[in-house]
Structure 1
Amino acid sequence: FANSALFVPKANADDLAQLCFKENGKFRFSTSAHAAWAAPIINDLVAANQGSALVLSSTTAAGKLYAESLRKAHPNLRVHSQWDGRSLARIVSEWRDDHSSVLVGTRSLMTGTDAPGLTNTLVIVDRVARSAGNPVDDARTAKIQERLEMDR
């Protein structure tokens, strides 16, 4: 992992205006707006990497949007998705065999999907999926939300 890197796009004021809305005096993150905001960034990252990517989305709707967006933006790139109407095992196998292709899916691909070598040189996670809360994390989240005047 010595050559690995992590990229987190920095949201500016315009991005925040697109991604958040105010409700009951507090800002809330819009998960539906996030996918539309993230799609062009994903397209750029995949282009820069010349494919060879695994795109993991937090929701089915977002994953379908990313697959469609990638297919439109990169017509010469093979884009596989878990919604292509074939078995997931076959889709993953086809992705592994085509080193420049892209695979788009949800949490079901987050564990157990491996593609050694050049097939998978870029992993994109659109946003970290929230797991069930616990009292300590919930208290920390509440404190941050209060300080930023945000809501879940």
Structure 2
Amino acid sequence: EKDFLLKFEETKSGIDFYFGNKKIGERVSKMIADELGGSVFRSKKLHTRIDGNDVYRFTFLVRLFEAEDYDAVLKDGKICIVKNAKLQKGIELMTGKAVNVSGATLIAKKEKMGWGVITNLDESVAEVMDSEGRIFHVPRSFGAEIGKEVFIFNFGQNIFAFPRDL
């Protein structure tokens, strides 16, 4: 039996692929999820009956992780930085503790963040000068040192920063 692609369609929610058999659909969806970082959901629905046998239509939904490396996400009420989007691994912004960021909510994309330099530190606050020369006082994040370049982002009413080499 040959494996083949019947058709594909662009929809509002993504791209739908129609395969000739269940096994190829299962393999392709797993490969996409493994390569891009995501999870596969499988469902089946009774399609018809042929010679007294049930014939099912299988659906494989691949949900990709929306965050990329160095994006800020909210996981269990804590701000985390994505270190490896494919494996859905990150670290807590304040403690540096390794966390699994699957299911986290995206709060800031790296491309939209500003940048600056840490100019002063104390135990809980870092003073940061951004690229336009403005001074901000932000909570001291894990790995903060005077002179380090940082990414800067807003979340809620607060400004946060974390080292670019985190």
TM-score (norm 1): 0.23
Q: Which has the higher strand share?
A: 2
Q: Between the two structures, name the one with larger relative contact order (CA 8 Å, sep ≥ 6).
A: 1
Write 1 or 2 for the structure with the bigger share of helix.
1
TM-score (norm 2): 0.22
Q: Between Structure 1 and Structure 2, whose CA radius of gyration is higher?
A: 2
